[in-house]
Structure formats: structure tokens, C-alpha cells
Amino acid sequence: MDRNNRVLVLNARYREAVLNGTTAGVNDAPLIKTLLFLLYEDIFRGLAVGAKDRDNVFLWNEILTAAADAEYRRFYGE
């Protein structure tokens, strides 16, 4: 998460698995991108990030990484 530039960087490792082998593009995975936007919207909107926000971002990252790992293993069979 690049809060200063208000950008979420998606891990390229999981992209192909999330897209299920379809072509990547700016408009791919609209459901995932929308859910990420809704999850992180308050973090980007605020002027400062407090302890609760940092804890939430850490927890969301852990949960999302576990889900992305599961999707990657399902797609690649690893």
C-alpha cells in the first residue's frame, strides 16, 4: 500500500491465478479491485494513519495473502 500516492500495488505472483489464466489488463478482476477499494478506502481518505488503522492493514494483508496463496495453489497445484 502506497498511501502517499494513494495506490494499492497488487502482487503479480497471484495475478494469473486470480485471473484464472485470462489476459491481464487495466480492467481485469473488477470484483477483487472493488473489494480492495472498499476495504482500504478509509485508510486513503484520512489525513493520518493511527494504530488501529495500521493494525487493520496488517491483518487485512495477512488474510488477503492467505487467500491469494490458496488461489495460487489451486491454480498451479502447488
Tens-level pLDDT at each residue, the chain (78 residues): 788 888 887 777 788 788 887 888 888 888 888 899 899 898 888 778 899 999 999 999 999 999 989 988 888 887
Predicted TM-score (pTM) of the model is: 0.77
Nearest to 47 by CA among 14, 15, 3: 3
32's CB contacts (< 8 A; 6+ apart) are 18
Nearest to 18 by CA among 75, 64, 78: 75
Helix, strand, coil proportions of the chain in percent (round to 5)? 65, 5, 35
